[in-house]
Amino acid sequence: MAKRNMQEDIEKTESDLIKEVKELVKKIIKKDIKVVSKNDSQKELIKSIKNNEITICEGIAGSGKTFIALAYALLLLRKETTKFKNIYLIKSVTTLKGEDVGYLKGDLKEKLEPFMWSYFINIEKIIRKENLDSLLMNNIIKPFPLAFARGATLDNCIIIGDEMQNVSLDNARTMLTRIGNNSKMILLGDTNQIDLKDKEKSSLSTLMDIFTETENIGTVKMDDNDTNVRNKLIDVMEVKFKEYYKKNELWVKKN
């Protein structure tokens, strides 16, 4: 009986905590969040996030995958009927080739901030900057370094991992196995932007292959022909780069 009462107390405490967070989130984000798809690929991504515990999505630059994931995560966080009380933002700290900034001063939060800017820029398109700052200050949205993920179990949360093309398969496995109870995980990436020295170590395409047709795990390959939701020149540039790399690869093989 004592054990049962203790379990009930724990569950009650967790339930109360979720309720407190939901009330705070509603005070911070006063308006409902609406997520509207701009093409079939975005619609498929939204559907997968809604229906699966884990979604793995591959899409080109400008496809809106990160924006959609963050917007839907905020929608779920604010929704009273869900048990989500945190959004964890995970990203590899792999820098662009030739752009390593060297040693960064400050505490862990200050060191991580530059790697999280792509998240923050997208969130500020959905809610006001002061709202984002409040969610960060209250530890509702939490940047989470992949390097420290081992051993953690993340319950009652939405976990978003971006730039998965720069994460090795072993590290992707570590990330995936962090998911706890009442949680969702969304992993995103673009195989055209691999910054690893050994591109073969990139996990994104492998994850898409491994988990195709797996229950409660959705894999979404965004169609390159879907309308680009950023600047239209991105489509033109991507085509030109692909033509250049293909031509250059053929030249290397011949010589």
pLDDT in tens, the chain (255 residues): 555 565 555 566 888 999 999 999 999 999 999 999 999 999 999 999 999 999 999 998 889 999 999 999 999 999 999 999 999 999 876 543 443 444 445 556 666 777 888 899 999 999 999 999 999 999 999 998 887 777 789 999 999 999 999 999 999 999 999 999 999 999 999 998 888 888 899 999 999 999 999 999 999 999 877 755 666 777 788 788 888 877 776 444 443
State the amino acid at position 108 in one-letter form.
Answer: L
pLDDT at 2: 52
Q: Is 136 part of a structural domain of the chain? A: yes
User: Other CB atoms closer than 10 Å to residue 174's CB: what's the count?
Assistant: 17
Q: Is 240 part of a structural domain of the chain? A: no
C-alpha–C-alpha distance, residues 250 and 40, integer Å = 34
How long is the chain? 255
Domain that holds residue 89: 2-230
Quote the pTM value.
0.82
Q: Is 243 part of a structural domain of the chain? A: no
Q: Is 149 part of a structural domain of the chain? A: yes
Tokens matching residue 53:
């515990």
pLDDT at 79: 96
Q: Is 45 part of a structural domain of the chain? A: yes
**pLDDT above 90 coverage of the chain, percent:** 61
Q: Is 237 part of a structural domain of the chain? A: no
Q: Is 89 exposed, middle or buried (0-12, 13-18, 19+ CB in 10 A)?
A: buried
Q: Report the domain count for the chain.
A: 1
Q: Is 238 part of a structural domain of the chain? A: no
pLDDT at 100: 41
For 10-62, the pLDDT digits (tens) are 566 888 999 999 999 999 999 999 999 999 999 999 999 999 999 999 998 88
Q: Is 245 part of a structural domain of the chain? A: no
pLDDT at 252: 42
Per the CB < 8 A criterion, the answer to whether 177 and 146 are in contact is: no
The enclosing domain of 38 has a CATH number of 3.40.50.300
pLDDT at 85: 96
Residue whose pair of structure tokens reads 């709202």 in the numeric block? 131
